[in-house]
């Protein structure tokens, strides 16, 4: 059934967790879990776009994920290349614009190459904005924003008093891409933590933590989770009644 737009969050942020456990449960190598996770991500992108969500932001690789084995890290980036090679034209046709947030130019060359291609190919699209966080950490993002604002004060471009919440939001990566704060954050796999993800931006986001492992999250269940948002009473610290 078609949903009215007001029931749908404009921006959904997702922590795609549980790929490793999905694989371990099946006695498969962890990278097979990421492969299943990539398939799940593909379905969730399609469904989000069909539902009319304006912004979908996924946490694909954190600055901490480098601590994993070379085999696993290499496997994730090979999957990223595979995803772009198989899905870029569909994303383009579906009018999806892809942005990448994080220090992604430090990824292996083949991944950087595919990401550049994706950004370039989809930059004129004006449908759903799909943001992939890669080599992303929220504290690093905030640190860079603070440094940038400090430089502007030093050069006389702005005064210290000009640094307000709006200026900080604008200096974050999300601000540079005009991405509004998430209305809803979903984390899969039963972990109840934020893991250095969009710390500033989720100040007023609704949150859903589900025990479902990311590769097991089917699009219908995802849609139900997203639509359960309409029952929440968002007050932003104020009162509605």
> Cα torsion for 98, 107, 174, 166, to the nearest 10°?
-160
44, 51, 76, 171: which one contacts ligand FPP (CB under 6 A)?
A: 76
> Which CB sits closer to ligand FPP, 8 or 31?
31
Token pair 């709006």 is at which residue? Answer: 166
91, 115, 132, 217: which one contacts ligand FPP (CB under 6 A)?
A: 132
Stretch that binds ligand FPP, among 72-80, 113-121, 145-153, 198-206 (CB under 6 A): 72-80
Q: Does 37 bind ligand FPP (CB under 6 A)?
A: yes
Residue 17 annotated among the catalytic residues of the structure: yes
Per CB under 6 A, contacts with ligand FPP among 137-196 are 189
12, 14, 19, 212: which one contacts ligand FPP (CB under 6 A)?
A: 19
Stretch that binds ligand FPP, among 31-39, 138-146, 195-203, 231-239 (CB under 6 A): 31-39
φ/ψ (deg, to 5) at 179: -95, 125
Q: Which segments of the chain does DSSP mark as H helices, in order? A: 19-25, 30-51, 70-93, 109-122, 138-154, 165-171, 173-176, 219-227
CA separation (Å) from 4 to 69, 183, 227? Answer: 45, 16, 11
Active site residues: 17, 65
């Amino acid at each position: 059934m078609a949903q009215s737009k007001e029931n749908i969050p404009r921006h959904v942020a997702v922590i795609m967790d549980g790929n490793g456990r999905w694989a371990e449960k099946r006695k498969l190598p962890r990278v097979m879990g990421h492969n299943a996770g990539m398939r799940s991500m593909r379905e969730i992108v399609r469904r989000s776009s069909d539902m009319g969500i304006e912004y979908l932001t996924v946490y694909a690789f954190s600055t901490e994920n480098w601590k994993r084995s070379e085999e696993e890290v290499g496997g994730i980036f090979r999957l990223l290349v595979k995803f772009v090679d198989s899905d870029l034209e569909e994303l383009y046709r579906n009018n999806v614009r892809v942005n990448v947030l994080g220090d992604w130019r430090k990824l292996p060359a083949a991944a950087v190459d595919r990401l550049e291609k994706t950004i370039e190919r989809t930059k004129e699209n004006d449908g759903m904005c799909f943001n992939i966080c890669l080599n992303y950490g929220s504290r690093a993002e905030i640190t860079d924003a603070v440094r940038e604002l400090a430089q502007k004060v030093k050069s006389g471009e702005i005064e210290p008093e000009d640094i307000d919440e709006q200026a900080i939001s604008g200096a974050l990566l999300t601000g540079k891409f005009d991405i509004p704060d998430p209305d809803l954050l979903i984390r899969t796999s039963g972990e109840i933590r934020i893991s250095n993800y969009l710390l500033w931006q989720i100040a007023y986001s609704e949150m859903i933590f589900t025990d479902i492992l990311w590769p097991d999250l089917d699009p219908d269940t995802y849609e139900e989770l997203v639509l359960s948002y309409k029952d929440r009473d968002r007050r932003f610290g104020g009162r509605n009644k």
